[in-house]
Structure 1
Amino acid sequence: MNKKVLDLRLAPPVLSAWVGALLLPALPLQWIAVISALALVLSVGFLIAVYKGRLATLGLVSALAVGALGGVGVSLTHSARTLAADPLARAWQGNIANIKVIAQVETPPRKYAPGSNQQIVQLKLQKAQIQGSAPVNTGLKIMAFGSGMPTYPRGTILQSAIKLEKSPGSANLDITNNGGISANSLFEIRGQLLSTPVVRAGPGGAAALKQKFATRLEEKLAAVKSPAAATLLPAMILGIRADASADSEALKTAGIVHITCVSGMHISVLISLVALLSAGFARRWRLLICGTLLVGYCLLLGPSPSLLRASVMGMVSILALAAGREPCSFSSLAAAIIGLLIFNPAFGSDIGFLLSVSSTAAIVLAVPYIEGKVQNLTTLWGSRFPRRSLKIIAGKYRDYLKKGFQSLLSVGLVSLVAQLACLPGQLLIRPGINTLSVLANVAIAPVVTLLIWGGAILVFLPIPGYLLARILAFGCEWVMVVARAISANRFAILPWPQGIPGLLALGALVAGIVFIWRCYFPKRGKRWQC
């Protein structure tokens, strides 16, 4: 196995940054400032010791770990103090208020649950006016709930009346004395829309360009009249996910909803397409094109946690290749986690970011081992396959059959590894364990790359594309057929409690399996004593 993949020296800084992102926001702001200052001073001390030769690798790792904690603390302190100085936040003081606002849409409205009229939208307030006072400029970001809202594109400017609500943990909120409040008290601001928003202006910049591409894709898909394509392709290419519906629930039950969340898989497939199209260019130009694609694609789609994680990983790998070094997947992942947690500590408590990181880490660590096992299994399968059957199949077709079998087996094993890694995070947000997701991922594997490549061509190239849209519609229909068939199976979800009880039950199950395996299955001819 490649030792560079298993270079775990950045693991302590990752854990330090993540623990800081989870725990520091619950502390008073003055404590966060003190802790971050002490961590940075200690980090500098470790670096000085390393420079003087008194500490080697351990000193550098320790410096990075406490430095990551200090960086998260500084970021939290800056964000919280900026928010505490906001005029609207100081006038609000945690009390419920009716406010007229002008806001920009950060995340388009979506149904909160299937069959519900309640919608949720993320807004960045720009101007606000409390009754009896003059309008003030503000920069608060809130999650607002409402109903009857159309799909406003990201970047749309709205005017509405909202009711701000304090978070459950901010009963005695006093922003004027911001040293005694926690960062969570400032970040967890919710709102309720009191009137239907009025559109003041459309999106601009990258958001306007994204809306243009979305309109182009919608027009091309309208000719083929495929609800499956209209649901899947905008999500797979532009990150525009449909409202909660029976189809989206079928994707979740089947365990293949990840194809609608733009992440590392989509990025790698798109980069492979760009690398294929730029095969005739010099190496440095191909790397430049791929890097430009990553930056532009991230700016176009917006700062979702999984996309940012994949983009940072890709940029680190591209920079390593440009420097003439072989990229290390785990180091790239660790650098992305540390950088994003310092950039936005809220990612530490984001379930989507947790699922993205856990699945990627499991794949990075397990794929080399899996590839070796797949080659051994296919070699063993070929040796035991009836020779009479092999004579019927020509040599070249026999090779194609072997490669196809290897690909499907690899997809199944990688899917199983990713599912097991994501299982704790999934139990935090919904009960039950997907039992047939590996089968679903293997079934849709042959069409996923085609859908991403073809969807990108439909979106970004000004071509008619009716024939291509028809082909992609068949692929999307196949994905939905698989999702509906598996979700209709009564064994698709294993009943399991949600939250902490579910995690404790899962831990007990894993401990029991490990105990039985070690006690009753000898290793290297020796039986474990229990």
Structure 2
Amino acid sequence: MNDLRLPLLGAGAWAGALAGPVVVAGGRSGMVLLAMLAAVLGIGGGWSVHQRRSTVLALVLMIAGTAIVSGLHAARVSDNPVAQLAAREAQVRVIATVTTDPKEVTGQHATYQLRRAGVREIRGRGVVYRLRTPVVVLGDDAWADIPLGATVATTGRLAKSDSHEESALLIAGEPRVVTGPGIWWRASDELRASIRDAVAHRPPDQAALVPALVDGDDTGLSDDLADDFRTTGLTHLLAVSGTNLTLVVGFLLIIARWAGVRGRGLYAVGVLGILGFVVLARTEPSVVRAAAMGAVGLLAMTHNGRQRALRGLGAAVIALLLIDPSLATSVGFTLSVLATAGHPALRTAMA
């Protein structure tokens, strides 16, 4: 019989992450929603497995726990000095760490660089605040040259963000690097550059396509090639997914077995491969999600893989939602979980 306790707890964590922001918003309806979710999932989940009482208690605690984490996360992003300054469109001085690669966007009058950064210190309206909160940065071409992981100082004007995942939009001026990126980011840049160099002798479109397929590095893609992928509905191939990780780590495991590694050593190789892939492809939410789902896919290929993969999927959902509760409302996260859940069932059906 399949052990569905961890998948059920994963569903409970998802429900709690959805309810948390509503509860924190202060409405009585949020409390009612939380109680209803706990009751329905707790009773339904308890009847679906043998250990009814412990499962009901675990589900209720999971829903409540993730609701609290999700609510605190929402409050931290939306109710802080940066968000308050953004509401007043204040001019500020900021020290922040860049957390994403540059993305070029075209406005009505100019072209801008779009980046995400974590604010560490901000000065506005004569007051200095030290905190940690994410913002979206919109700057000129100088921002394209700032390496990922670098800490910069800049000035600019804050505005309200359209996303619930960032506290504000920073329309930034010239950046000045305060601290360079750490060793991990430097190593990642070197490895990504080596992949580009390895195919540099190929025609331009081919040379740009290989890094995009391997690690999601689409900086070299021409507009025409990107349009071709959009027209044919194949843009998902250019995004980092669990398939990328499964192929990379699977290859590492094959090499490790050929070299004589067995037992727990293979697990160590797999874990190191997953961590290395995350650093290579960047630690954006989509990459972390892909790493978790890819790890579940690797479990499905082991002995008793269906059981391990189902439990691993439940554990992955719980861990990801506790790390980033905003994933609960992400369409990409939902599709990743559903797609990954289909692999163990498909494997059993084909057996």
**TM-score with structure 2 setting the length:** 0.78
Superposition pairs for residues 220-239 of structure 1, below 5 Å? 220-222=198-200, 224-239=201-216
- Alpha-carbon shift at residue 259 of structure 1 (Å): 2.5
- Aligned-partner residue type, residue 111 of structure 1: E
After superposition, the C-alpha distances for 1:454-483 in whole angstroms (9 at most, x for unaligned) are xxxxxxxxxxxxxxxxxxxxxxxxxxxxxx
Q: Counterpart in 2 of 1:389? A: none
- SS state of the match for residue 240, structure 1? coil
Gaps of 5+ in 1: 170-183, 373-530
Contact 2:104–2:111 (CA under 8 A) maintained in structure 1: yes
- Aligned-partner residue type, residue 159 of structure 2: E
Contact 2:300–2:344 (CA under 8 A) maintained in structure 1: no
- SS state of the match for residue 173, structure 2? coil
After superposition, the C-alpha distances for 1:160-213 in whole angstroms (9 at most, x for unaligned) are 2232223579xxxxxxxxxxxxxx5xx542314242434444321321211121
- Alpha-carbon shift at residue 141 of structure 1 (Å): 0.5
Note closer, same or farther for the CA distance 1:27–1:260 as it changes in structure 2 (3 Å cut): same
Cα-Cα RMSD = 3.8
Distance 2:127 2:58 in 1: 48
Contact 1:105–1:154 (CA under 8 A) maintained in structure 2: yes
- Aligned-partner residue type, residue 25 of structure 1: P
Contact 2:117–2:137 (CA under 8 A) maintained in structure 1: yes
2:181 paired with 1:203? yes
Q: Counterpart in 2 of 1:67? A: 61
- SS state of the match for residue 335, structure 2? helix
2:10 paired with 1:20? no
Contact 2:94–2:119 (CA under 8 A) maintained in structure 1: yes
Note closer, same or farther for the CA distance 1:56–1:313 as it changes in structure 2 (3 Å cut): same
Superposition pairs for residues 434-473 of structure 1, below 5 Å? none
2:233 paired with 1:255? yes
Distance 2:337 2:261 in 1: 33
Distance 2:113 2:328 in 1: 25
Distance 1:79 1:344 in 2: 8
Percent identity, aligned pairs only, is 23
Contact 1:103–1:157 (CA under 8 A) maintained in structure 2: yes
Gaps of 5+ in 2: none
- Aligned-partner residue type, residue 281 of structure 1: V
- Aligned-partner residue type, residue 69 of structure 1: I
Q: 2:196 aligns with which of 218, 242, 247?
A: 218
Q: Counterpart in 2 of 1:350? A: 330
Q: Counterpart in 2 of 1:400? A: none
- Aligned-partner residue type, residue 154 of structure 1: L
Contact 2:119–2:134 (CA under 8 A) maintained in structure 1: yes
- Aligned-partner residue type, residue 239 of structure 1: G
Q: Counterpart in 2 of 1:172? A: none
- SS state of the match for residue 18, structure 2? helix
- SS state of the match for residue 152, structure 2? strand
Q: Greater CA deviation, 336-345 or 158-167?
A: 158-167
Contact 2:12–2:59 (CA under 8 A) maintained in structure 1: yes
Distance 2:77 2:225 in 1: 39
Contact 2:155–2:173 (CA under 8 A) maintained in structure 1: yes
**Structure with greater strand share of residues:** 2
Distance 2:116 2:308 in 1: 36
- Aligned-partner residue type, residue 130 of structure 2: N
- Aligned-partner residue type, residue 140 of structure 1: T
Superposition pairs for residues 227-376 of structure 1, below 5 Å? 227-242=204-219, 245-279=223-257, 280-313=260-293, 326=305, 327-369=307-349, 371=350
After superposition, the C-alpha distances for 1:264-308 in whole angstroms (9 at most, x for unaligned) are 211111122112212222222222212222233324433333432
- SS state of the match for residue 217, structure 2? coil
Report the count of equivalent residues.
335
Note closer, same or farther for the CA distance 1:209–1:164 as it changes in structure 2 (3 Å cut): same
- Aligned-partner residue type, residue 308 of structure 1: V
